[in-house]
Structure formats: structure tokens, C-alpha cells
Structure 1
Amino acid sequence: MNTPSTPSGAGQADAPSVQIGALVPLTRPGWVEAGQHLLAGLELAVREVNDAGGILGTPLELVVRDTAADPQRAEAAVDELARLGVAALAGEYHSVVARVAAARADALGLPFLCSSAVLDALTEQPTEWVARLAPPQSRGWQVYADFLLSAGHRRIAVAAESSVYWVSGSRILRDYLSPRGGTIIELDMRVLAPTAVCDELVDSRATALLLLVGHPEPAVSIVKSVRRDQRLAAIMIGAPAGQPEFAEWVSLLGDDSAAIPFLRYLPERLSPLGARVETTLRERLAAAPSFVAFEGYDTIAVLAAVLRSHGAGRASTAESWPRVAVEGTRGQIQLSRTPGISVWQWARPPIQVVDRDPAEPDRFRIVHTS
């Protein structure tokens, strides 16, 4: 899908535009619902920028490319958007895709503000061209590990697939939990069927099972199998990567969708800006906006501020990352260098562990904060 978003704003329709390339998963095997929320946030922010006069009188335009969770497709999209003359790139949800896009943007000298992907090693080497709003995986998953310990879990099974993202998550959990008395039991989902996971959990005496697997499958099948096994009535299922965030989770699992804690990058209370954006996004999506939609909005808010202050030149945009100071929907956004992270990073985005309320699965409960 190649979709240019028409700029909004009275009297600006025939004016040249400042273009932002948007990388978004909008078809399978990408996580389509996440992509829709990300795009909704990006588009809303572009519309509000243009309603307020654009970039010094020039409308902002979003040029959307569907990555479909395919790294090669994303790399080709970056090349195309660079040829089209976009001022910067925004978006992407899947870490394995964002990593390829970031490497290509770095090679081309094209600024890329990554909205949602969390993999620590977004680029192999430090780069001036790439920045990120989502927290690094190591920080978020350590918060999740603290939640596990505080809830009394010491024997933790992980049903894991083999992608770099899941391998990285397993390593973060093991490195953090082992010195604190925790044990990670790895269940290799390349060889185990969802129904076989139950026997492994019983044999291992695990008290928690973490889903380090794709959505909807095999995550949904694993949850159904575990929930139906009376031997595992007391086990906690967790999903640090956020599979339960979206409405599709509830539609596929019903009551089984609840009480599965996951990471969510929202504050306990939204600012007035965040509350206003939430209301508008809810209308656009006909559903409660996920944290991914707010990440999309904040991405454009940062890029628009940079373009207004420093112009649309690619080099000036990249040079401006350390001078960013923008009030986003989830707090004040500033970018800095973080030890062990190769890109410019929002150092303190909010992090929660939440789950869906068993009594009302459409309602979220905060069970732990950073």
C-alpha cells in the first residue's frame, strides 16, 4: 500500500509541501491494528500542524508506505522515500523492520524518528541520523522483570520464537532476574505445539508463562491451551511485548484475554494535551486509542517543532536532535545519548505494566509502574 496523506489546512491546497515519509505495517503479516493506530496518531498530528499554519506557512504532508512487517520491503520504501525528497522518516512498529529501516536511513543520511520499535540495537553503530521515542527494550523489560519479582514469581517460563527481538527479550529477562533469584525456563516454540506447552509448564514448576511469540498466532492458541488446562489454574500468563493492548485480542480470546499483564507506554494520568488527543483519536478509531497512537502523534509533534526551528534540510534536522524540547501527549520530550543505545533517545518515556480487568475486559488496570 502506497498512500500519500493529503495535507489539511484552509488555503494551502496548492502550496508546495514539506513531506514526511511514514513507515507503517498495514497488511499481514504485520500487526495491522498496531499500524492503524500508529497511522491515526501520525495523521492527526499532521492535520493539527496544518490547521495551525503548517511549517512556517508550508503544509506538512505524510507519504505513507506499508511495510507489512517485511524488512526488505521497508528498506525499499526508505530508498523510494529518499528519492522522493522527504525531509525525514517517521513511524514503524516492528523492531526487526525498524532496525533495517534505521540502517538504511543512516546510510542515506535521512533523518528517522522511530515511533514505536524498542530493540536496543536499532543500529549497529552510533548514528546521528536516527532518534527514537519508545523506550529501549532493556529498560521496559527490566521494569517488567521488577513486576514479576514483586508479584512473587521466581520460576518463569518463556514461550519464545527465534527472531532477534524475542531472543533479545529473553536475554534481558535472564540477565536481570538471575542475580535476583529468578530462573528463566525457555520453551522453544519452533519445536513445541501450543498444547505441548502445558506439559512443559507442569514439569518445570513455573509460576508464570511469558508470551514471546507473534500475534495472533501462536499467542492466542497458547493462551487457550493454558487457560483450559486445570493443572495450570494458578499460573500467570504475561505478555511484555503488548499483545493484549489491542481490541483484536479481546475479540479472539473473550474472557481469556484478561489478567495478562503487558508493557504500556503511557503515564498514569494524561496531560490536558494528551486528554484532548485521546478524545479525537477515539473518534477517528471508533475505539480507545492505544499507546501506539500517542507515539505516532508525538513523533509528528517533535518533527514539526524541529522543522519550524531549523528548516527542512536533512542535516539540520539530524543536528537538532539534542535540542528537542517538545511537550508531547505523554510528557516533555527531550532526546539524549543513553549508554548502550546507538540512537538519540527519549530517556524517560512513561512505562506501565497493565492488564485487562477480568470483570470488564475493555478496562485496563495498572499493576506496576517504573
Structure 2
Amino acid sequence: MSTPPSPLGTERNAATDAALRIGALVPLTRPGWVEAGRHLLAGLELAVRDVNRAGGIAGSPLELVVRDTAADPQRAAAAVDELARLRVAAVAGEYHSVVARTAAGRADALGLPFLCSSAVLDALTDRPTEWVARLPPPQSRGWRAYADFLLGAGHRRIAVAADASVYWASGTRILRDHVAARGGTVTVHDMGALTPAALCDALADDGATVLLLLVGHPEPAVPIVRAVRRDRRLAGMTLGAPAGQPEFAEWAALLGDDGAAIPFLRYLPERLGPLGARVAETLREQLAGEPSFVAFEGYDTITVLADVLRSHGTDRARTAAAWPHVAVEGTRGLIRFSRVPGIGVWQWAGAPIQVVDRDPKQPGRFRVLHTS
């Protein structure tokens, strides 16, 4: 059961008072990454259906109260305020790191448990908090693994095409520090000042062997890929997208063969267990295509929250106190939360990490290039 987005200020419906509500923050409209939001919501909704088929929580059904963030931090903050007034047991979701950071800070201030499904920015909150937990690995862990993959492939001179945002700046810093410590260099090209053609001119003089796309999708990522692929001066250049743009079907639909052989980060294990395989099959039917890792993150979010609510009750403070006691089998492995140095929220430290690309011979097929 889910409640669709509605105007802020909506009051509780007496007909659904028996349901146990969980707020869900999801980017469902532009400029949010809509396809990622659709996959995240599909995973959340499937898990809610499975929980309810199994009897709900102490006999009460779960209900999602969905709010569209549209990648807008202020809209997310207003949604968290509304969900707190609607007396949700917890808030879940969000894909965009900058939006999740605002939502996490607001949830912390309100004393509202927030389980972040898919945002990786290390500094998810300004201060350590007991109210927030996170499923995906922090950006520092994932992007260092990606840098190790590049270094292992022989890349020492790395170029970055970057948009302006806290997330991209953080990723650039992680890459630069990790690569520099191993004798490499990272050169940043500001896409606020360059066209794709001007970027190609700069790359032709740069000497870099790989260009990383730290930019929005589809703009300007798609035009950059097309420009680089068609520039004979850059015929030997590798493209990379650590943030995962090539994971989604829209990427392949827009770029075709040009979108293959562009390594990206994906948070899946080498092999799914029985639960993951069953969920994958259902999601494949629901989405009419291959589910992304984001859909599995959505499913695991509800799986964790349902376990916490069953074992610790629906009091918000008890939910927050339960994070360190979680031991739940999710679609991608056993989920436990701990305190990770430098991370202010409860973190699943064992989240799987892969570097993957689309096979040039069969762009609908993924190749696992590196695991961490």
C-alpha cells in the first residue's frame, strides 16, 4: 500500500489510521534523476507488499507515504516536516546526495528516524547523530575503489569533467587525494565554462588517458560522450562515470553503442542469494527491464525498517536506538550498522561494491570489471 505525493499540509486520513506509515523521499520529476527515482520506489513498494503479505507489523499493514523531492533540498526538508506531522514511524529513501543531506539534517533536528537508501555523500549530517542510518557505502569508500580500478588499469593522468555541486566536488577531492598518493594526477575541467567541443579541445592538449563524467544526466553527460566518441584526436581515451549514469536503460537508449565501455560504480554482490534472485525476478517484471542496484537498495530499506519495527516497536526513539542491533538478511547480503570513522551516521560498512560497464559487443549486458 502506498500514498502518492500530495500537497504539503495534508492531514491523516481516518480510514488509514490502522496502517503504520513510513515516509518515502523519492525524485520522481525533473530535474531529479527520474529513472533512478522510479527504481528506488519500485523496490520500496515491492518490499512493503511483501511485508504486508506476511502479516504486516504486529498485525498492522505498512503504508508508504511518498513525497517527490524533484532533487530539491528545500522541497525535501518541507516533506520531512510534513511527514513528521503525519506521525510516520520513520523516513526512508532519497537518491541525490545533496537532497539526502538536507533531509537527514532535518530528520535529526526533529528526532525522526531516517534510513537513507541510496545517497553516498560522506558528510550526510553536520554532526554525529543517532537518528540516521545509511545503506550504500560512503562516497570515500566507493570512489577510492573506483580510483584503484583506474590505477590498476594503468591510468595515471586522469581528467574530470565536473559540474558545480558539493557531491561532485567531494568526489573530485577523493579521487585527487587517492590518485596523487600513488603518483597520479587529476585535472578538472569546469563544465560551467566549457561546451563539449571546447572540452574536447582541452583534452586533446591534456595528455590524460581517461575522462571521468562528474556531471548531470542526460545533460551534459550525453553530449559530452557523443563529442568525445566522435573526436579522432581522442580515439584512445577511456570514459568513466563513477556516479553510475550508465546503469540505467535511458543511458543505453540515448547513446546506444557510444554508451558502452564506460565503467561505473554499482552496489551489488558478485552473485545474488535466494532472496535477491526472487526480488530481481519480480522487479524485472514490474519495471519491464533489468532492475538497477537502486531498486535493491529500496527493497532492503523496507526490509530493515520492518525488522526494526517488529523487534523494537514503533516508538521513534526506540527505532533510532535499534540501528546498532540490526542484523537483517537483505537482497545483497547481511546488513549490520556500525560507526565508521569519519562518518556521522550509522553505516552499513559491508555494502558490496563493483566497477561495471556495458559490454561493447552487447550493450544490454553488464561486465564486472572490479570488486571491493
TM-score range with shorter-chain normalisation? over 0.9
Query: TM-score when scaled to structure 1?
Result: 0.97
Separation of aligned partners in 1, 2:4 and 2:198: 41
Q: 1:110 to 1:231 in 2, by over 3 A?
A: same
SS of 1:270's partner is: coil
Q: CA deviation at 1:202?
A: 1.1
Q: Tell me if 1:331 matches 2:333.
A: yes
Separation of aligned partners in 1, 2:60 and 2:241: 43
Q: Tell me if 1:206 matches 2:208.
A: yes
Q: CA deviation at 1:2?
A: 4.3
Separation of aligned partners in 1, 2:236 and 2:269: 30
> In structure 1, which of residues 260, 263, 286 is the aligned counterpart of residue 262 of structure 2?
260
Q: CA deviation at 1:3?
A: 3.3
Q: Tell me if 1:189 matches 2:200.
A: no
Separation of aligned partners in 2, 1:237 and 1:275: 31
Q: CA deviation at 1:162?
A: 1.1
> In structure 2, which of residues 48, 52, 58 is the aligned counterpart of residue 56 of structure 1?
58
Q: Match of 1:274?
A: 276
Structure 1 residue ranges (4+ consecutive) displaced by more than 4 angstroms after TM superposition: none
Q: 1:72 to 1:315 in 2, by over 3 A?
A: same
> In structure 2, which of residues 304, 314, 332 is the aligned counterpart of residue 302 of structure 1?
304
Q: CA deviation at 1:56?
A: 1.1
Separation of aligned partners in 2, 1:40 and 1:224: 31
Q: Match of 2:319?
A: 317
- Percent identical residues: 77
Separation of aligned partners in 1, 2:275 and 2:85: 35
Q: 1:14 to 1:73 in 2, by over 3 A?
A: closer
How many residues are matched?
362
Q: Tell me which moved more, 27-36 or 15-24.
A: 15-24
> In structure 2, which of residues 46, 49, 58 is the aligned counterpart of residue 47 of structure 1?
49
Matches within 5 A, 1:52-131: 52-131=54-133
Contact 1:71 1:100 survives alignment (8 Å): yes
Contact 1:15 1:58 survives alignment (8 Å): no
**What's the CA shift string for 1:236-291, capped at 9, x where partnerless?**
00000000000000111011010000000000100111000000000100010000
Separation of aligned partners in 1, 2:77 and 2:217: 23
**What's the CA shift string for 1:163-194, capped at 9, x where partnerless?**
00000000000010101011001101110111
Query: Which residue identity does 1:118 align to in structure 2?
Result: V
Q: CA deviation at 1:15?
A: 7.2
**What's the CA shift string for 1:29-81, capped at 9, x where partnerless?**
00000000000000000000000000011100000000000001000000000
SS of 1:280's partner is: helix
Separation of aligned partners in 1, 2:261 and 2:58: 48
**What's the CA shift string for 1:333-362, capped at 9, x where partnerless?**
000000000000000100000000011101
Q: Match of 2:248?
A: 246
Contact 1:82 1:110 survives alignment (8 Å): yes
Contact 1:113 1:130 survives alignment (8 Å): yes
SS of 1:180's partner is: coil
Separation of aligned partners in 2, 1:180 and 1:112: 37
Gaps of 5+ in 2: 7-14
Separation of aligned partners in 1, 2:371 and 2:197: 33
Q: Match of 1:9?
A: none
Contact 1:75 1:101 survives alignment (8 Å): yes
Q: Match of 2:164?
A: 162
Q: CA deviation at 1:195?
A: 1.1
Separation of aligned partners in 2, 1:200 and 1:84: 53
